[in-house]
Amino acid sequence: MRRIDLLAVDELADGEMKMAFVDGTDQVLVVNTGGEFTAVQGICSHEYFELDKGFLTNGTLTCALHLSRFDLTSGEPLDPPAEQPLAMYPVVVEDGRVCIEVPDGPLEISEG
């Protein structure tokens, strides 16, 4: 298991999202929903498109390219064309930092 530091709690206000880089290349999107932090893969599971260009609405994240919405509690797509859930990473908040705890090795990312 490894713990990866993504960003500071005070970098991300309620209702906002921000991309963080893991291992120099993998993008992880951190979302603050009412003070709860969620971390999902930063690239859409449908095609290569950055999800921080999308929209947050009522616990969902909409990809701006083809408008699939994803449930931020499960990562599941709610509309086509996306079919694969987004990978979600367990978040640990400690000492004012938002971190994820993931298995050793490459970060899990789902691709369509």
Task: Kindly state the smallest distance separating residue 59's Cβ from ligand FES, in Å.
Answer: 18
Pairing of strands 26-33, 17-22: antiparallel
> Looking at 17-25, 31-39, 44-52, 95-103, which segment touches ligand FES (CB under 6 A)?
44-52
The verdict on 56 binding ligand FES (CB under 6 A) reads no
For residue 40 the two structure tokens come to 């999902």
Check residue 58 and report its DSSP letter.
T
For residue 23 the two structure tokens come to 């291992």
Please state, in angstroms and rounded to a whole number, the distance separating the CA atoms of residues 91 and 50.
Answer: 20
The verdict on 69 binding ligand FES (CB under 6 A) reads no
Residues in contact with ligand FES by CB under 6 A are 44, 46-47, 49, 63, 65-66, 68, 81-82
